């Protein structure tokens, strides 16, 4: 386990860790085989600083994933999923999460869902997602008989496709515009409802 999750860090140490995590995301996104030394150089720190903070590459990637999921948790909380009007909360959470996923795609693509800390963070986010989707269903925006677990899975797949599946959306598109596209597709679909 990394020292970053074992105890709170001083502000300067926290800035150093943040610089290492940000550099690791950039460097590993461009070159998944990059060394810890290359990451240290990109972060502007000594190689020994990276090795002191992270036991190995796997520890660094795990810490990146945990930090990304913590950011997602905070972003969902900022959208007030239990108190804001459901469509407002859903839109804001979507925009926030899209922005985070663009900046942490390497870490999030390599997350170990069986890691207890990651699993706990995901569970918390999914519970808040279910809460806002349940409120949207209660307000008539989602069909009354819709399986909310399935709705959540479709919603998350739409977010993932927005971030990863569309080459013309390279992270420069406005998160609010992308969030609107996700919500419109989730609630309205792309079909006309016609079957014949």
In tens, the pLDDT along 124-138 reads 999 999 999 999 999
Indicate whether 8 pLDDT > 60: no
Hey, what are 25's tokens? 């995301």
Does residue 193 come out as left (phi exceeding 0), alpha (psi in the -120 to 50 range) or beta?
left
Indicate whether 167 pLDDT > 60: no
- pTM for this entry: 0.83
Hey, what are 105's tokens? 């795609």
Hey, what are 65's tokens? 């994933």
The answer to whether the beta carbons of residues 92 and 84 sit under 8 Å apart is yes
pLDDT digits (tens, 9 = 90+) for 95-113: 999 999 988 888 888 888 8
pLDDT at 113: 83
């Amino acid at each position: 386990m990394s020292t970053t999750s074992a105890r709170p860090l001083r502000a300067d140490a926290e800035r150093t860790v943040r610089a290492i995590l940000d550099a690791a995301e950039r460097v590993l996104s461009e070159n998944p085989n990059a060394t810890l030394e290359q990451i240290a150089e990109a972060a502007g720190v000594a190689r020994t600083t990276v090795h002191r903070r992270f036991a190995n590459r796997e520890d660094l990637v795990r810490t990146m994933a945990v930090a990304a999921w913590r950011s997602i948790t905070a972003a969902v909380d900022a959208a007030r999923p239990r108190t804001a009007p459901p469509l407002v909360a859903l839109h804001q959470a979507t925009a926030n999460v899209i922005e985070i996923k663009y900046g942490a795609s390497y870490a999030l693509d390599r997350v170990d869902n069986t890691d207890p800390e990651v699993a706990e963070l995901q569970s918390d986010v999914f519970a808040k997602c279910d809460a806002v989707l349940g409120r949207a269903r209660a307000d008539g925006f989602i069909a009354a008989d819709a399986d909310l677990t399935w709705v959540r899975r479709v919603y998350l797949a739409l977010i993932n496709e927005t971030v990863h599946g569309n080459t013309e959306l390279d992270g420069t598109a406005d998160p609010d515009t992308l969030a609107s596209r996700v919500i419109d597709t989730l609630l309205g679909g792309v079909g006309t409802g016609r079957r014949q």
